[in-house]
Amino acid sequence: MRTARAALVLAFLGLGAGAGSAQAQGLADPGARAPEAATGTRTSVAEVRGAKAMIVAAHPLASMAGRDILAAGGTAVDAAIAATLVLNLVEPQSAGLGGGGFMVVRDGTSRALTTFDGRETAPAAVDVNLFRGPDGSPRGFLDIVTGGAATGVPGLLAMLDLAHQRQGKLGWDRLVAPALTLAEQGYPVGKRLAALLAEEKRLAEDPAARALFYRPDGSPRQAGETLVNPDYAATLRMIATHGPAAFYREPFARRIAEAVAAASNPGHMTVADITAYRAVERAPVCGAYLAWRVCGMGPPSSGGIAVLQILGLVARQPAIAMDSEDGLALTIEAMRLAYADRDIWVADPDRVAVPTRGLIEPAYLDERARLLNLAPGPRTPAPPGQPRVQSGALPGPNSARDVPSTTHLSVIDAAGNAVALTASIESAFGARRMVGGFLLNNQITDFSDVAEVAGRPVANRIEGGKRPRSSMAPTIVLDAQGGVKAIAGSPGGARIPGFVATTLIQILALGKGPAAAVAEPHFIDRNRGVEVEAGTVLEAMMPALAARGYTPRATDLNSGLHVIVREADGFAGAADPRREGSALAIP
């Protein structure tokens, strides 16, 4: 019989991953709410190989759309766009045109990396009182989410358009074609969507959503039923004919603004807010990990910084084997330090002076590494650091809920162009409000509704026109010659950086293939206590963690890791068994 200590080591080695799941336990922090409920885990993960090109996405129909675009000569950006438009249909609870996202893009010719910021922006009229009642007390999360008050200006399509201008090849009429065909001819309800609809309580309050996702008797659609989405087909035809810019101008922009204003919980979005929206091209954040260069998304996402901090901190303890109990404890301690910085420093860089370089520079990580504590003993929250390039007092701590319902896809084409794309509408089914065949987001809840703490301004406070902080972490790993080694990312709310960092440790430090890496049972500490994935062998390690001074909890840790890894003879890819994605290749 295994001891708890042996189970801990076996779990991190990948010898004890289970297939079960359990109902998530709530934690006393704003980010504890699960982004989407778990809907079961596949017992095996297919590892797909290809010599020329590959896509891994969260639904087989999306992967098929991307593969077909790659086979037709499209670029990685083209394939990512086509797959994302299909995901709007088949995974509507997670992402779509009503939300936003981030992309990390590598050019196969120049080998240059860039990133695209399609994060939503707050309507100009919002302020920190948005989520408070008449008496000044905070409103309940579901009361905030449902309707229009928490909806930000959608940025996903503008981001896709900007990336297409830089690296697209096929026309928009070709890129919308897979999703358009499915919207007009019908597509089957997946098991995951059906399970989430069965649990959802407020989506049916919206007439358009009720007509699409529910039967005439009010019961939710079941797995295998065929859905037809003529409203989305009309939106896609508009994009194909007039280009993505039509989404952001009259008359379509007015439809979005009116849907937000007409909700039972109305928002403040105007046509002017929508027409003013711009996606932004930004420099990636990059850092070293072992022999690799890891590049990700900078602010307003905290994902790239947090992943680099976690990897950088564990790499500073080379004597500790990562496939040992001490290696796992080291990773937990690195997470605690990274999340302490994330909660304080990261916000919209166009509104706040975020010390991005300071947070990942080697000297700062050397300093933070001295706080790593593997000795047993009581655990208090790790303190935030003071980056060397930053002067003045620390900002106030952030209180955002940060529970995105999200999707991720990874693509590489025959020319070496690569894309890591993560998109979101925030909580499952977003604001529960439909327009144009897609669900609107509730991303404004990713702001802190507290403007200052103890006299210190909160960097991520709500302000009109501002982009809320995110945890999305689309990532591309490069080798010493600038070639692509890995493409990764995941949904998972505030837990995303932890999911991505531990997966990269599995691949880059322990040499595991993508299928083994994405199937690993999860553990994470967001500086609020250790969480281990329920229904896996990691539950057996909780006494060992407690003996080290942690207070572990077992909960659903519902990732959606979609990974591509370069091998000697081509690429290997795999989709997270916790969702229903697939990897497809051009041989």
pLDDT digits (tens, 9 = 90+) for 289-332: 999 999 999 999 999 999 999 999 999 999 999 988 899 999 99
Prior bond to 251 cis, omega within 30? yes
pLDDT (mean) for 223-246: 98
pLDDT band at residue 192 under the 50/70/90 scheme? very high
Residue % of the chain over a pLDDT of 90: 82
Q: Is the pLDDT of residue 403 over 50?
A: no
Q: In 10 A of CB 542, how many CB atoms?
A: 19
Task: Let me know: does 160 contact 168? Beta carbons within 8 Å.
Answer: no
* For the ranges 264-268, 428-432, 451-455, the one whose mean pLDDT is highest: 428-432
Q: In 10 A of CB 454, how many CB atoms?
A: 7
pLDDT (mean) for 431-451: 93
pLDDT (mean) for 239-262: 97
Tokens of 283: 């420099």
Q: Is 141 helix (H, G, I), strand (E, B) or coil?
A: helix
pLDDT (mean) for 561-585: 96
Which is the catalytic residue, given 151, 356, 406, 407?
A: 406
Residue-averaged pLDDT of the chain: 90
181 is catalytic: no
Task: Let me know: does 575 contact 45? Beta carbons within 8 Å.
Answer: yes
pLDDT (mean) for 141-169: 93
Q: In 10 A of CB 511, how many CB atoms?
A: 10
pLDDT one-digit tens code per residue, 407-432: 999 999 999 999 999 999 998 999 99
Q: Is 346 helix (H, G, I), strand (E, B) or coil?
A: coil
CA atoms within 13 A on the CB side of 212: 30
Task: Let me know: does 489 contact 58? Beta carbons within 8 Å.
Answer: no
Prior bond to 300 cis, omega within 30? yes
Q: What is the pLDDT of residue 4?
A: 36
Q: What is the pLDDT of residue 137?
A: 82
Amino acid code (one letter) for 324:
S
pLDDT band at residue 529 under the 50/70/90 scheme? very high
Residue % of the chain over a pLDDT of 70: 90
Task: Let me know: does 209 contact 263? Beta carbons within 8 Å.
Answer: no
pLDDT (mean) for 194-205: 95
For the chain, the distance separating the N- and C-terminal CA atoms, rounded to the nearest angstrom, is 45
Tokens of 100: 């936003």
pLDDT one-digit tens code per residue, 85-129: 999 999 999 999 999 999 999 999 999 999 999 999 999 999 888
Q: What is the pLDDT of residue 43?
A: 66
Task: Let me know: does 500 contact 38? Beta carbons within 8 Å.
Answer: no
In whole angstroms, how far apart are CA 150 and each of 141, 247, 435? 10, 20, 15
* CATH tag, 45-282+399-530+557-586: 3.60.20.40
Domain ranges of the chain: 45-282+399-530+557-586
Q: Is 49 helix (H, G, I), strand (E, B) or coil?
A: strand
Residue indicated by tokens 């954040």: 285
Task: Let me know: does 252 contact 238? Beta carbons within 8 Å.
Answer: yes
Sign of the CA dihedral with 143 first, then 148, 149, and 154 last: positive
Query: How far is it, in rounded angstroms, from Cα 171 to Cα 193?
Result: 30
Q: What is the pLDDT of residue 8?
A: 32
HEC string of 204-233? Answer: HHCHHHHHHHECCCCCECCCCCEECCHHHH
Strand order across the beta sheet in which 523-525 lies = 523-525, 530-533, 553-555
Pick the closest to residue 413 from 62, 104, 171, 75 (CA basis): 75
Task: Let me know: does 167 contact 77? Beta carbons within 8 Å.
Answer: yes
Residue indicated by tokens 């942690």: 550
Tokens of 398: 């952030």
Q: Is the pLDDT of residue 84 over 50?
A: yes
Query: How far is it, in rounded angstroms, from Cα 132 to Cα 137?
Result: 5
Please give the model's pTM, rounded to 2 decimal places.
0.93
Task: Let me know: does 433 contact 260? Beta carbons within 8 Å.
Answer: yes
Q: What is the pLDDT of residue 7?
A: 35
Query: How far is it, in rounded angstroms, from Cα 470 to Cα 118?
Result: 11
Pick the closest to residue 442 from 211, 180, 152, 11 (CA basis): 152
pLDDT (mean) for 469-487: 97
Query: How far is it, in rounded angstroms, from Cα 78 to Cα 172?
Result: 9
Q: In 10 A of CB 363, how many CB atoms?
A: 10
Sign of the CA dihedral with 90 first, then 92, 95, and 99 last: positive
Q: What is the pLDDT of residue 35?
A: 53
Strand order across the beta sheet in which 285-289 lies = 48-50, 570-575, 562-567, 484-488, 475-478, 292-296, 285-289
E strand map for 98-167: 100-106, 113-118
Residue indicated by tokens 């690429």: 571
Q: In 10 A of CB 1, how many CB atoms?
A: 4
Q: What is the pLDDT of residue 140?
A: 78
pLDDT band at residue 26 under the 50/70/90 scheme? very low
